[in-house]
Structure 1
Amino acid sequence: MATITKTPSGTWKALVRRVGWPSTAKTFRTKRDAEDWARRTEDEMVRGAFIQRAPSEKTTVAVALERYRREIVPTKKATTQRREAARIRELTIHFGKYSLAAVTPDLVAAFRDARLAQGKANNTVRLELALLGHLFNVAIKEWHIGLIYNPVANIRKPSPGEGRDRRLAPGEQTKLLTAVAQHNNPMLTWIVQLAIETGMRQSEILGLRRFQVDVDRRIIRLTDTKNDSARTVPLTKVAATLLSDAMRHPVRPIYTDLIFFGEPGRDGKRRPYQFTKVWTRIKREAGMHDLRFHDLRHESVSRLVEAGLSDQEVASISGHKSMQMLRRYTHLRAEDLVKKLDQIQKAL
């Protein structure tokens, strides 16, 4: 049953009490608005569709994102955590002042269009929308904030776009390795060469510890991967030699098991070697501005295919779970395919 009362300040307070439901109240400027809200609320209770909306109306997106940063982001991988911080900042700028209840599909779609108009890559916008959508899912399912639906689920997401097809042109590998070899820290050379030789991701290489590497058997056992599937990576002779040299690094502290280690942090702990700034500088000086570190993985995987390994064999090395993703990362040189066609014709 609803009770409508006038408050000392001149507003109207609607209070709804019904057996089996928590009492709920809301204040309005006019009596008519209070009566309309009370009728809708009672009707929702009768139909079993009532949701306590007060928390979602009082909680801003900025507050929710801050809670997400504290509670949810630390459960993600370290590499993901670093990227999530930038996405949270961007979402806070656009949505922070709104309450969770005020975010509509139209508002989210406007954000999507604005970001794309700024020249942001499709995948960048997709990942920002994914974080916003996950925020609403967590708010509904775990925080039990009264929301009727997830507004991000009802909009069109930008297409992923085509995968990069950047390969090392003839002479570029020698040029790149010569440039990184001039850096005073030999770990950079070992890391770049390992990426080309093994096809491992940057995070997998930087997180390597000595117990994971068996130089004699020429294998690496990876347990912390992007898709959470452990795998064993076979090593070429060159890769095995690189890792052997890295593990014999004369300046290695005895208290760290990391193969590629950085300087101690404020807490005295050593974390993986970070080389983003020096890598960017070296690329620029070598005239290879468009080369990304992840392109070295593309190069390695493509070479495995060109060497004649089957899709299943390549996937077991690279860690791709689906052949579709593997094909996106594999770009064969047309000239190499021409040579294979010639070999087939000679055999006929």
Structure 2
Amino acid sequence: MATLVKTPSGTWKALIRKTGWPTVAKTFRTKRDAEDWSRRTEDEMVRGVYIQRSGSERMTLEAALKRYLSDITPTKKPTTQRGETSKAKKLTEHLGKYSLAALSAETIASYRDKRLNEKGRAGTTSNNTVRLELALLSHLFTVAIQEWGLGLTFNPVLNIRKPSPGEGRNRRLSPDEERRLLAAVNKHSNPMLGWIVGIALETGMRSTEISSLRRPQVDLERRIVKLVDTKNDAQRTVPLSKRATAIFQSAMENPARPSDCSLVFFGEPGKDAKRRPYAFTKVWGLLVKKLELPDFRFHDLRHEAVSRLVEGGLSDQEVSSISGHKSMQMLKRYTHLRSEDLVAKLDNISNKKQKTLAKQKDKV
């Protein structure tokens, strides 16, 4: 039987000691609440289903996210680490004061709806942004249940509807935009910017894959680049077009590269005297703004390159082996074919059909 004690502050403390179970105690405002909790807890102990929930009741989401960012996030890729830090800030801003035990599916669904209607610099928050924030929260609950022993019995994020990821971006470069962009990057004081943009357009490689390249990974004789550290953790070999090979040739022969630096695209030494990959994000942003290219991101160069590979007649399997997409569904989100190119192909099909019919008439 539980022991109920009235505290000097007027609250009631319930204490349960039962053989085979750890001693548990909890404080309530009324004696009735203390009795109800004691009766329910003792019943769970008798049935062997009691779970000590004090850990999840004490730990706020803010504290849990700090622990997650300290213990779990450092095991992931640098780009993922930066993304999770940003997502954690939003989750903390809206839900940080809730305990993990108090975060119900209803509360999280309300957060989802509020974020989807929240306006920022670029308009309302995208479905994909909210979906990724919920994915982080869901994994936090999974880790808390499986590893932290906080007494959580289920993941509330699994019980709510997730925003659809959307159709993906459909931003392609027009011939005039490409001409102006290449002219600008090739005129930049640092030739590495032009080389990087050119390689992105020719190969479809991601910005981090390009900037982190080291000289042993580039085989100009065989015209291939070996990627070891990719977003999908899968190594792949990227074939090089003649133009991509020529660009890499110039980059590899860069006279400014120090003899002890193996990076193909290198930055200035840091405070620790180490050279890291060339950081071009800020320069790229200023350049795109100056050229007045609306809503154009560096990652759209990958989109453009993959679309061109498809337009060039390569099969989905061949394109995925170059781009590194694991699923055909993801690949389709990047391959938006130009309508005018499809019109030209339809005309070719129609012309061939007419020629065939004409030959058949001649034979008759």
Matched pairs, number: 348
* Residue in 1 that maps onto 2:178: 173
Q: Out of 300-309 and 337-346, give the one that drifted further.
A: 337-346
1:133 counterpart = 2:138: yes
Equivalences for residues 298-317 of structure 1 within 5 A:
298-317=303-322
Q: CA deviation at 1:242?
A: 1.0
- In 2, the alpha carbon distance for the partners of 1:97 and 1:126 equals 21
1:38: how far off? 0.6
Corresponding residue for residue 7 of structure 1: 7
User: Is 1:277 the equivalent of 2:269?
Assistant: no
RMSD value over aligned CA atoms?
A: 1.4
Q: Deviations over 1:226-259 (max 9, x none)?
A: 1111111000111111112112211212333221
Q: Following the alignment from structure 2 to structure 1, what is the Cα–Cα distance between the partners of residues 48 and 303? A: 54
Q: Partner letter of residue 134 of structure 1?
A: H
Matching residue within 244, 264, 274 for 1:259: 264
Cα deviation, residue 329, structure 1: 0.8
Is 1:49 aligned with 2:49?
Answer: yes
In the alignment, structure 1 residue 188 sits paired with structure 2 residue 193 = yes
| 2:93 aligned partner | 93
Shift in Å at residue 24 of structure 1?
A: 1.1
CA positional deviation for 1:286? 0.9
Matched residue of 2:27: which SS? strand
* 1:291 equivalent in alignment to 2:290: no
Distance 1:54 1:260 in 2: 52
Letter in 2 for 1:144: G
Q: Deviations over 1:81-102 (max 9, x none)?
A: 1122111111111122221111
| Residue in 2 that maps onto 1:232 | 237
Q: Which amino acid aligns with 2:271?
A: R
- State the 1:268 CA deviation: 2.4
Q: Could you state the TM-score of these two structures normalised by the residue count of structure 1?
A: 0.96
- Please state whether the residue corresponding to 1:171 is helix, strand or coil: helix
Once the two structures are TM-superposed, the CA of residue 170 in structure 1 deviates from its matched residue by: 2.0
Q: Gapped runs of 5+ residues in structure 1?
A: none
Question: Could you say what secondary structure the match of 1:4 adopts?
Answer: strand
Deviations, residues 92-139 of structure 1 (Å, cap 9, x unaligned): 111222211111112211211111111101111111111111111111
- Structure 1 or 2, whichever has the larger Rg, is 2
- SS of equivalent to 1:107: helix
Decide which moves more: 306-315 or 99-108. Answer: 99-108
The whole-number CA distance in structure 2 between the counterparts of 1:250 and 1:240 is 18
**What is the CA distance between 1:197 and its match in structure 2?**
0.1
Partner of 1:69: 69
Amino acid at match of 1:295: D
Given residue 40 of structure 1, which amino acid in structure 2 is its aligned partner?
R
Q: Which residue of 2 aligns with 1:59?
A: 59
Which string of whole-angstrom CA distances, capped at 9 and with x for unpartnered residues, describes residues 127-152 of structure 1? Answer: 11111111111111111111122221
**TM-score, normalised by the number of residues in structure 2:** 0.92
% same residue? 65
268-277 or 283-292: bigger deviation:
268-277
CA offset digits 1:279-320 (Å, max 9, x no partner): 111111111031111111111111111111111111111111
Segments of 5+ residues of structure 2 without an aligned counterpart are 119-123, 354-364
Secondary structure of 2:251's counterpart equals: helix
Offset at residue 344 of structure 1 (A): 2.0
Query: 2:108 is matched with which residue?
Result: 108
- Of 241-250 and 337-346, more deviation after overlay is shown by 337-346
Alpha-carbon distance, 1:266 to partner:
2.6
Q: Paired residue for 1:339? A: 344
**Does the alignment pair 1:156 with 2:178?**
no
- What secondary structure, in the 3-state scheme, does the structure 1 residue paired with 2:128 have? helix
